[in-house]
Amino acid sequence: MTDELLEAARTRPDAGVLGQFSSLHDWRRQVADLYAAIRSMPGREGWEHWRSTRDRLFREHVQSPLPPERRTRFRGIDCFPYDPALRFDVGLRSVAGREAIDISLGEDEAVRLVPFALTDGLAAQLGKELTLYWITGYGGGVFLPFGDLTNHDETYPAGRYLLDTIKSADLGTNDDGRLILDFNFAYFPSCAHSVAWVCPLSPAENRLPTAIRGGERNPPPTG
């Protein structure tokens, strides 16, 4: 979506591009404020705030990933019930030397993911550890996508995100410096909500051999 704004800025300087970039700036600021607030709250309280704030942004904000025609009938993002057992404080182990992964974003665009750490503290309950990636480019950021056995029937087929620090999705660390990973905050990439978005999806190496029933899920079937 940002690439479309850049192209509009280049070819149609009078097409309301200032408003589009300003609204995207406001969206990013509100998401950053949301995660900053969550980091100072207990798990369930933070999760409830996360849900209510995201519902408002999806319903009201001009940069919502929902197409405009869906916003008027939007009733909230579907999530699994909160499960405190899905919150982990993990250590990190270096994976220096592993090859980077290039993921296509269409139209000759790609994002490069550099593996830099492996979690230490998930395998006993979730069956394996997960790889953290650094997204290259100006500034960069930590990225933790994952797949699990809920994909397709219960959650987005291509997986979900847990960390994306470029977008400020980050629950921080505990007092001992261990990384907080709370799967109750797992969310769909924007491309799950609209074909207008193209998103990097989870590499196969980050697919968990268990079902993670926490975080965003598919709407329940109707009829």
* Domain assignments of the chain as residue spans, ordered by start: 2-206
pLDDT digits (tens, 9 = 90+) for 17-75: 788 889 999 999 999 999 999 999 999 999 999 999 999 999 999 999 998 888 988 99
Q: Does pLDDT of 3 surpass 90? A: no
The residues facing 151 across adjacent strands are: 155
Whether the CB-CB separation of 189 and 161 falls below 8 Å is answered with yes
Q: Is the dihedral of CA 148, 128, 170, 212 positive or negative?
A: positive
Helix (H, G, I), strand (E, B) or coil at 19: helix
pLDDT digits (tens, 9 = 90+) for 96-155: 889 999 887 766 678 899 999 999 999 999 999 999 999 998 889 999 999 999 999 999
Q: Whole-structure pTM over 0.85, yes or no?
A: yes
Residue 200: the pLDDT is: 84
Helices assigned H by DSSP within the chain: 2-11, 17-38, 43-60, 68-71, 123-126
Stronger pLDDT, 43 or 223, i.e. the higher one? 43
pLDDT digits (tens, 9 = 90+) for 129-142: 999 999 998 889 99
Label residue 145 exposed, middle or buried (CB < 10 Å: 0-12, 13-18, 19+): buried
- Residues 116, 133: contact at Cβ < 8 Å? yes
CA distance 203 to 87: 22
Residue by residue, DSSP assigns 149-210 as: TTBTTTB-TT-EEEEEGGGTB---B-TTSPEEEEGGG-B--GGGT-TT-------GGGB-SS
Is the distance from CB of 23 to CB of 2 less than 8 angstroms?
A: no
> Is pLDDT above 60 for 2?
no
Return the pLDDT at 5.
45
The strand pairing partners of 141, in sequence order, are 135
Q: By C-alpha distance, which of 85, 83, 72, 79 is closest to 51?
A: 79
In angstroms, rounded to a whole number, what is the distance separating the alpha carbons of residues 64 and 62? Answer: 6
Q: Residue 11: what pLDDT?
A: 39
Cα separation, 1 vs 218, in Å, equals 23
Give the Cα separation of 187 and 54 in Å (integer): 11
Given a cut of 50, whether residue 12 has pLDDT beyond it is no
